[in-house]
Amino acid sequence: MLSSRNAIAFLDAYPVTNGHTLVVPRRHVPSIYELAATEQSELWETVSKTRTFLMERFKVDSLNIGVNDGIAAGRTIDHAHVHVIPRRLGDVPDPRGGIRWIVPNKAKYWP
């Protein structure tokens, strides 16, 4: 898909939605915060380019972009990566709260 000197983007093997992409640093580290500043910058540049690509290619309305930074946060692969998940109007009954739903009883804060 997309790549640079320090990062690569590819479709997730277990996608949440059509077009779900992972952006991964080429250097193996468990957390993106173990990358040098230049590597982090390039990783986020690749996320930005991936976002643009997905918006155009998959005609999506929005995206969720997130990092599971550590086991308690849900990381299951011991290699840093960023999820770029395309979203479409109507793909769930009520999308409000987005990633807040990782803790369901705290997600809905609106009346």
Q: Which residues are catalytic?
A: 81
Q: Which residues have C-beta within 8 Å of that of residue 100, sequence separation ≥ 6?
A: 106, 107, 108, 109
| Residue 54: both structure tokens together | 């997905």
What are the DSSP calls for 44-79, one per residue? HHHHHHHHHHHHHHS--SEEEEE---SGGGT--SSS
Residue 37 to residues 6, 32, 59: CA-CA distances in angstroms?
11, 10, 32
